[in-house]
Amino acid sequence: MTTAAARPRRRAPRGQGELLRGEILQAAKDLLAERGDEDSVSVRSVAERVGVSTPSIYLPFPDKSALIAAVCQDVFAELDQEMEAAAAAASSPFLGLRARGHAYARFALANPEHYRIVMMGRPHVGHEFFSGDDLTSSATFAHLVAAVAQCREAGVFSDAQPDEQVAFGLWAAAHGAVSLVIAKPMLNIEDSLAMCDQTISAAGIGLAVLARLPEEVAETQDSGSELDLVALLDTMFRAEKQAAP
């Protein structure tokens, strides 16, 4: 029994190697979205989708790991474009920050397997897809830090709050929410995007509130003493409840 041959494709003219590379990347991304599993996407299946021989895939990519790594980079670039476009339509830095968070969650939930590989996958032997250095040196993270800096300049966050620390906090909230939805679909959350939005917004509001604490309370929080903001708020909430008629 013989396997079906790839659709004949003429050899790309000189100078069009980048075009072939783009076709291969798009085919790999499409197959990942369709099959929902990185392991089920082989180099051969990508070649068949593009219409080239399997060895042709190894011209721009030395192996499957390199191809998947390139897909990760491409997906992260798309995510950055969506976040930038969402923020550009906002009327203020803080609303722009919320728009970035919404775009992040929307993109992740619309591309769960791509997001899983980029942000939730385990390191591969010889290829750690998007290592810590890759992530923090990316344009996506740089744009998020710049957006936080704009909010700080607008008075949303305190000068005492490092921009990168605030950015990591917001990113952690967004990643945690979307990862829960993607990793545990059996939870059947009624409106996954709304839940992610709520979590991301709460993180942003919380960090903004920290910037407005009385100076003595903020200093105590930074010093790591026993006075805890959550305990402080708990006391206040219970006092309000007891005072209510």
3-state secondary structure the chain: CCCCCCCCCCCCCCCCHHHHHHHHHHHHHHHHHHHCCHHHCCHHHHHHHHCCCHHHHCCCCCCHHHHHHHHHHHHHHHHHHHHHHHHHCCCCHHHHHHHHHHHHHHHHHHCHHHHHHHHHCCCECCECCCCHHHHHCCHHHHHHHHHHHHHHHCCCCCCCCCHHHHHHHHHHHHHHHHHHHHHCHHHCCCCHHHHHHHHHHHHHHHHHHHCCCCHHHHHHHHHCCCCCHHHHHHHHHHHHHHHCC
In this predicted model, which residue has the larger pLDDT, 197 or 125? 197
pLDDT value of position 219: 53
236, 198, 199: which is closest to 217 by C-alpha?
236
**pLDDT digit string, tens, across residues 82-101:** 999 999 999 999 999 999 99
Is the pTM higher than 0.75?
Answer: yes
Mean pLDDT, rounded, for 197-218: 82
Lowest-confidence pick of 2-6, 172-176, 198-202, 241-245: 2-6
Mean pLDDT, rounded, for 212-217: 63
**pLDDT digit string, tens, across residues 97-153:** 999 999 999 999 998 888 888 788 665 544 455 566 777 788 899 999 999 999 999
Q: Give me the percent of the chain exceeding a pLDDT of 90.
A: 47
**pLDDT digit string, tens, across residues 45-82:** 999 999 999 999 999 999 888 898 888 888 888 999 99
pLDDT higher than 50, residue 239: yes
